[in-house]
Amino acid sequence: MPSTVAFVARVDHASDEEAWLSALRAAMPEETILPFHAMSAEERNAAKLAIVANPDPADIKALPNLEWIHSLWAGVERLVAELPQPAPPIARLIDPELSRVMAEAVLAWSYYLQRDMPFYRHSQEQKEWAPRPYRQPGEMTVGILGLGVLGQAAADRLTAAGFGVKGWSRSQKEIAGVETFSGEDGLFDMLASSDIVVCLLPLTAETRGLISATRLFRMKKGAALINFGRGPVIVEADLLAALDSGYLSHCVLDVFDKEPLPQSSSFWSHPKVTVLPHISGPTTQQSAASVVSANVERWRKDGKLPTTVDLGRGY
């Protein structure tokens, strides 16, 4: 009899837990999946796998024999920071549907900037008829910070749409049609030659505060920034200074130091800022559940785990 799978989540509404449980149970009818609060002491003790969405670390601690944890989110910095050590291996969500949706968002907001939408929004508010010359995607370069699963999906989509694409990552990559960079010098070179910079970096000890004034002012004058990774990778005060000084033209922010973005934040009403409520890459429950299901099936069959998070690197 296979051990019960624990579902450990801190969700805003009981209906969210129900929705996750029914998606997971539908994808894995052969598994017994129980929410942590409904598990007996015996079941908690026997559980080898926890499927988690923003779990309470105390609940994970109360599952002493876990062999691994499967996160339902792609970003795991909070999980990595909060889990009691030593933690079992963590698999994060790598979902082709999430990659597609995020790549679509990167393309949509790159078009938003390429087609001067922030400028026309302002013109409309001023009742000004002020056409600007059209720029083709091929006249613009988008530089992507982070060439992981999401960064590479975004690069593909942008390349197909005709944008010039560059990308920066920790290890040097070779990607057809993309000029790639790594290291500190590589970062400066990419920033200095991109019209739009898209951040798709995970939040780690190394990336926290990475995009500070030193880097922002090495971007092209008049360039724009999109942050779809994590808020604290960019120093918010430095970004505001770069926008207020007229150095950067616009930014599209989907992630912030504090979420929901506090009412007091100057981003809300800043004319050069587009605020999005963390919607660029939402998890789709059905596709996430089928990805988790395939990983669980493989593990049950031959004991193999999917690629797990490198806790030393933090992603």
Ligand X SMILES: NC(=O)c1ccc[n+]([C@@H]2O[C@H](COP(=O)([O-])OP(=O)(O)OC[C@H]3O[C@@H](n4cnc5c(N)ncnc54)[C@H](OP(=O)(O)O)[C@@H]3O)[C@@H](O)[C@H]2O)c1
Please name the residues in contact with 291: beta carbons below 8 A apart, sequence gap of 6 or more.
93, 94, 95
Run of H or E including 201: none
Enumerate the H helices of 134-201 as residue ranges. 149-160, 183-192
Across-strand partners of 9? 53
When asked if residue 180 is in the footprint of ligand X (CB under 6 A), the reply is no
Q: What is the DSSP secondary structure assignment for residue 89, as one 8-state letter?
A: P
Total of chain residues touching ligand X, rule CB under 6 A: 27
Choose between 21 and 201: whose C-beta lies nearer to ligand X. 201
Give 246 or 277: the residue with its C-beta nearer to ligand X. 277
Under rule CB under 6 A, which residues in 141-170 are in contact with ligand X?
A: 146-151, 169-170
Segment 60 to 79, residues that bind ligand X, using CB under 6 A: 74-75
Of the candidate spans 54-62, 79-87, 204-212, 214-222, the one that interacts with ligand X by CB under 6 A turns out to be 204-212
Tell me how far, at minimum, the Cβ of 151 lies from ligand X, in Å. 5
Indicate which single residue of 55, 143, 202, 306 sits in contact with ligand X (rule: CB under 6 A): 202
Kindly state the DSSP code that residue 12 receives in the 8-state scheme: S
Task: Compute and round to an integer the Cα radius of gyration of the chain.
Answer: 21
Q: Which amino acid is at 225?
A: L
Of 5 and 211, which CB lies nearer to ligand X in the complex structure? 211
Residues 272-291 that bind ligand X (CB under 6 A): 278, 280-281
Specify which residues 237 forms β-bridges with: none
- Residues taking part in catalysis: 230, 278
Rounded CA-CA distance 216/239 in Å is: 7
Name the site residues for ligand X (rule: CB under 6 A).
Answer: 74-75, 146-151, 169-171, 200-204, 206-207, 228-230, 254-255, 278, 280-281, 315
